[in-house]
Amino acid sequence: MLFALSPANRTPVTLQTSPYPILLYIPFFYLAYLARREGTFTLRLLIFPIALCGIISSAWGFAWTIEELANYNWGHGEPF
């Protein structure tokens, strides 16, 4: 897969690293907020690449190491 990191390069989700995947979704939520506002088309076009990169890095850059939560490693193709 083009975007998939090797298992050695993925950041395990722990209590210390758990805020980082959540923070990467802030531009996405801001886009959702702007979707219903008038006159924000240009701003949404400028924010979209940032939001897309954040979502991809959140989905592919972090891995759950807890056995019960390994189902959330859906895009990685193999267990961590």
Q: What is the pTM of this model?
A: 0.73
Contacts of 43 (CB under 8 A, 6+ apart): 34
Lowest mean pLDDT among 10-19, 25-34, 68-77: 68-77
Mapped onto helix, strand or coil, the DSSP state of residue 8 is coil
pLDDT above 60: residue 39: yes
pLDDT above 50: residue 33: yes
Closest CA to 67 of 77, 76, 79: 79
Q: Rounded mean pLDDT of 44-58?
A: 92
Q: Quote the CA–CA distance of 76 and 18 in Å, as a whole number.
A: 18
